[in-house]
Amino acid sequence: MQVRSDATSVLKGGAMSQLPQLQDAYLLISSGRIQDYGPMAHLPEGIQFKHHIPAQGRFVFPSFIDSHTHLVFAAPREEEFVMKIKGATYAEIAAKGGGILNSARKLQQLSEDELFERTLPRVREIIRTGTGAVEIKSGYGLTTKDELKMLRVARRIGRETPLTVKTTFLGAHAVPNGYSKSDYIDLIIKDMIPAVAEEKLADYIDVFCEEGFFTPEETERIVEEGKRFGLKPRLHANQLARSGGVQAGVKTGALTVDHLENIGEEEIELLQKSNTLPVALPGAAFFLRLPQAPGRKMIDAGLPLVLASDYNPGSSPSGNMPLIIALACIQMRITPEEAINAATLNAACALELQHDLGSITRGKVANLFITTPMPSVAYLPYAFGSSLVETVMLNGKIIADEQPAPKK
Amino acid sequence: MQVRSDATSVLKGGAMSQLPQLQDAYLLISSGRIQDYGPMAHLPEGIQFKHHIPAQGRFVFPSFIDSHTHLVFAAPREEEFVMKIKGATYAEIAAKGGGILNSARKLQQLSEDELFERTLPRVREIIRTGTGAVEIKSGYGLTTKDELKMLRVARRIGRETPLTVKTTFLGAHAVPNGYSKSDYIDLIIKDMIPAVAEEKLADYIDVFCEEGFFTPEETERIVEEGKRFGLKPRLHANQLARSGGVQAGVKTGALTVDHLENIGEEEIELLQKSNTLPVALPGAAFFLRLPQAPGRKMIDAGLPLVLASDYNPGSSPSGNMPLIIALACIQMRITPEEAINAATLNAACALELQHDLGSITRGKVANLFITTPMPSVAYLPYAFGSSLVETVMLNGKIIADEQPAPKK
């Protein structure tokens, strides 16, 4: 069982390789929180258990925290996946109505209830693979009404399902048809941000700071306006090119810069001197056949790497965090311990949830999962195609349980 | 529903992109075989159903056929996975007792019953992800006694579980400690092959024809001896180098040559003129960070590509065929239809099972699965981290069913 007696700050560099574990241990949950743990030999006597979950041969992990997703969307885009296999470029797909604007068109046609219903199966799926908290971005609305609709659905997921949800306003995801970029930025600043803030629909603001989308200067302008309304920045940066996204993030005090497939020494040095957390998204690089972000290099440079799924219908159609961790281990050459810390405690810090989530620590919320019987922590990414999450507990309640019934 | 009215030969090149489908269709199973199918509007009247499985919004696939696995093994080797992440070379891992000899040492210590019990969870797992027939190799025994033990376990899986099993004798997997290569080859030829044939434990013979293992000349010698005893060849070829493996396979009339990460025009031309089937193993290349076999190029050259998992504890610890198909689509740029044909009908031909398995065809065995609701066939590889196999039928019987109970 992974436990940490003190776990309210990010793990940087070498500290990420430490994953403290108790073997043959007990864990007491009370009122939805972790009350105590220790070796079985020290289990206090006389405790009256309401429920008792045996876990022989199994591992207890803190639930994953997925700090970058686009979980609320209308429909998958597998037809674009096939176009890309056949060699279509991003521009060709866009010309055929594909890409972000494709998702926006479909989402705009749905009611808030329909959008919620379409998102629920994905919520159930990520819970089933071990995720307990998730960040959800807007950005497939691209009108004030539809951006608000997306964020309301994201908030509703946080209220009506066991997932802990943080929301991010990403109006600046793409420029919708019929707008010049500067007119659309005006709409974001004058209309969308105040409306989002008025309804308290977002915790953060994000901008797709990439070549062909929003420049670092435009990003700074949008983000500074968000900050005036209490929205902290987190940025899409350096996915497609060395676009200055990391610089814009550090300059505006962003909590995170996400993607980072295209960074060099300069960006790493900037991050070393800042509190901005680097978030790598291995599912997107894998699915788009791009080189992975230099996760190994960032950890070796002492940075506090974070891993997230980027679950979205265009570039990373999976929120399966064990598989994301396997991709990171295989394609970035980071160790299982580093990857698990990047997807739990460091990810909690990336969503400012580290006081309640991200580790099995006395007093934190009981968000955890029990694996199937397995020989070691490293088995989780090694067995990259296996479903190893057997029992899921969120907020101290069993949500899913596939442990076989005891033989009679 | 995928159906084929005539399906007893491999699909080559362009023919692999065709995946005939019936929408809104019925499928009748009787005595474990596919009796009939057609559009619902043509469902014959007055049929008395014993069972009836609704499949609205779902897809019916023929079960996958995994034509290259090392499914029978003693224990995982995730510690070597971590050593490789940290930069250890194959030679360094071997020097620390890792690799094939590691698996052999562990397997030699187990009884036949123990080995069977350790394999069963993997059997259940691959059934759960849609596999209905599997090839299983020996090669972790490396003594006559232990090679026979492995093959007996593989045969027992075919008798005692719903999987259809073909077995392959792979004594020439590595040279065990204490033997010169020529002495070990003598043991294979004089002792192992006759013993395997005597007990009818293998359908095929395989050799690890790779640099540092067995040369093409040694491969031919072993394989020709196997053929004298009725064992048809299938070879490990061209994984680590352009070793002449494909040439040895074509020359000896091998049914398949497997791996093919390192082939060029010469090998492709040889395969074009032969009946030897090329088998690509995307899980191994992914896990070992090698370039994938040129699947796209082979299909474009008119070859009948086959996909298999290579499930084994060292280089491909997964038998999840939907994920293998996703890896092929993403990393080889083959289409979902091509990948599915490569893992069903063409794979059936690779195991000489095409008259009974590999497609939904009148008269074939009812080995199939029903997916969760999904929008298209392409969704299967697109949603690369999702578990989409909902109901599994093997030999006309429901083996696993996760379809939610109807709402009351």
pLDDT digits (tens, 9 = 90+) for A244-298: 999 999 999 999 999 999 999 999 999 999 999 999 999 999 999 999 999 999 9
Contact B237, B223 (CB under 8 A): no
Cβ contacts of B289 on chain A, cutoff 8 Å: 330-331
Sign of CA dihedral B30, B36, B38, B44: negative
Q: Which of A371-375, A383-387, B97-101, B204-208 has the lowest mean pLDDT?
A: B97-101
DSSP secondary structure code for residue B148 in this structure: H
Per-residue pLDDT tens digits for A341-360 = 999 999 999 999 999 999 99
Contact A126, A57 (CB under 8 A): no
Binary contact (A85, B329; C-beta < 8 A): yes
- pLDDT higher than 80, residue A404: no
Measured between alpha carbons, how far is B76 from B88 in angstroms, rounded to an integer? 18
Identify the pLDDT of residue A406.
Answer: 56
Per-residue pLDDT tens digits for A373-383 = 999 999 999 99
| Closest Cβ opposite residue A318 in set B289, B379, B383 | B383
Q: What is the dihedral of CA A285, A376, A18, A343, to 10 degrees?
A: 30
The alpha carbon of A81 is separated from its chain's Cα centroid by a whole number of angstroms, namely 22
Q: How many domains does chain B have?
A: 1
pTM (2 d.p.): 0.97
The answer to whether position B356 is within a domain reads: no
* SS3 category, A90: helix
Residue A232 CB coordination number (10 Å)? 18
The alpha-carbon gap from A286 to the nearest alpha carbon of chain B, in Å, equals: 8
Binary contact (A82, B335; C-beta < 8 A): yes
Binary contact (B289, A323; C-beta < 8 A): no
Residue B91 has which token pair?
Answer: 């030679």
- Strands, sheet with B60-62, edge to edge from the N-terminal-most edge strand: B60-62, B368-371, B389-394, B397-401
Per-residue pLDDT tens digits for A147-204 = 999 999 999 999 999 999 999 999 999 999 999 999 999 999 999 999 999 999 999 9
Binary contact (B82, A336; C-beta < 8 A): yes
Identify the pLDDT of residue A94.
Answer: 81
Binary contact (A78, B376; C-beta < 8 A): yes
Measured between alpha carbons, how far is A365 from A31 in angstroms, rounded to an integer? 9
| Closest Cβ opposite residue A286 in set B79, B330, B382 | B330
How far is the CA of B246 from the CAs of A291, B10, B262, B269, B321, in angstroms?
31, 19, 10, 11, 25
Q: Which of A123, A382, A387, A390 to mutate to test the interface with B (most CBs of B within 10 A)?
A: A382
Residue B374 CB coordination number (10 Å)? 19
Binary contact (B76, A283; C-beta < 8 A): no
Which residue numbers of B have CB closer than 8 Å to A's CBs? 75-76, 78-79, 81-82, 85-87, 125, 129, 283, 286-287, 289, 317-320, 323-324, 329-331, 333-336, 375-376, 378-379, 381-387
A298 sits in which H/E element: helix A295-300
- pLDDT higher than 60, residue B294: yes
- The average pLDDT across B11-31 equals 96
Residue A46 has which token pair?
Answer: 């006389």
How far is the CA of B312 from the CAs of A256, A383, B78, in angstroms?
39, 10, 11
pLDDT tier at A408 (50, 70, 90 boundaries)? very low
Identify the pLDDT of residue A246.
Answer: 98
The answer to whether position B368 is within a domain reads: no
Per-residue pLDDT tens digits for B61-80 = 999 999 999 999 999 999 99
Contact B317, A381 (CB under 8 A): no
How far is the CA of A287 from the CAs of A84, A155, B233, B291, in angstroms?
10, 28, 36, 16
The answer to whether position A355 is within a domain reads: no
Residue owning tokens 């540092």:
B212
Measured between alpha carbons, how far is A82 from B334 in angstroms, rounded to an integer? 9
Q: Which of A259-263, A403-407, B156-160 has the lowest mean pLDDT?
A: A403-407
Binary contact (B378, A81; C-beta < 8 A): yes
Binary contact (A378, B81; C-beta < 8 A): yes
Question: What are the backbone dihedrals phi and psi of residue A324, each rounded to the nearest 5 degrees, phi first?
Answer: -60, -40
Contact A303, A279 (CB under 8 A): no
- What is the average pLDDT value for chain B, to the nearest integer? 96
How many A-B residue pairs are in contact by the CB < 8 A criterion? Answer: 97
Binary contact (A386, B320; C-beta < 8 A): yes
Q: Which of A315, A371, A386, A387 to mutate to test the interface with B (most CBs of B within 10 A)?
A: A386
Identify the pLDDT of residue A402.
Answer: 75
The answer to whether position B376 is within a domain reads: no
Measured between alpha carbons, how far is B188 from B147 in angstroms, rounded to an integer? 10
Closest chain B residue to A382, measured at CA: B78
| Closest Cβ opposite residue B386 in set A75, A125, A286 | A125
- The average pLDDT across A69-94 equals 93
DSSP secondary structure code for residue A234 in this structure: -
Contact A126, A134 (CB under 8 A): yes
Binary contact (B85, A334; C-beta < 8 A): yes
The answer to whether position A48 is within a domain reads: no
Residue among B325, B289, B290 nearest B305 (CA): B325
Identify the pLDDT of residue B91.
Answer: 79
A245: domain CATH number is: 3.20.20.140
Binary contact (A378, B283; C-beta < 8 A): no
Binary contact (B385, A86; C-beta < 8 A): no
Closest chain B residue to A288, measured at CA: B330
Closest chain B residue to A326, measured at CA: B287
Identify the pLDDT of residue B95.
Answer: 82
Partner residues linked to A259 by β-bridges? A237
Domain that holds residue B239: 64-350
Per-residue pLDDT tens digits for B224-252 = 999 999 999 999 999 999 989 999 999 99
The answer to whether position A155 is within a domain reads: yes
Which residue numbers of A have CB closer than 8 Å to B's CBs? 75-76, 78-79, 81-82, 85-87, 125, 129, 283, 286-287, 289, 317-320, 323-324, 329-331, 333-336, 375-376, 378-379, 381-387
The answer to whether position A292 is within a domain reads: yes
Closest chain A residue to B330, measured at CA: A287
- What is the average pLDDT value for chain A, to the nearest integer? 96
Residue among A257, A268, A316 nearest A294 (CA): A268
Measured between alpha carbons, how far is A248 from B362 in angstroms, rounded to an integer? 63
- The average pLDDT across A76-80 equals 96
Q: Which of B82, B387, B390 to mutate to test the interface with A (most CBs of A within 10 A)?
A: B82
Per-residue pLDDT tens digits for B191-201 = 999 999 999 99
Residue among A388, A392, A390 nearest A380 (CA): A388
Residue among A19, A29, A21, A1 nearest A393 (CA): A29
Q: Which of A64-78, B95-109, B270-284 has the lowest mean pLDDT?
A: B95-109
Binary contact (A334, B378; C-beta < 8 A): no
Closest chain B residue to A373, measured at CA: B121
The answer to whether position B287 is within a domain reads: yes
Binary contact (A385, B320; C-beta < 8 A): yes
Per-residue pLDDT tens digits for B97-131 = 889 999 999 999 999 999 999 999 999 999 999 99
Measured between alpha carbons, how far is B256 from A362 in angstroms, rounded to an integer? 57
Measured between alpha carbons, how far is B76 from A382 in angstroms, rounded to an integer? 9
Q: So what's the ipTM on this one?
A: 0.96
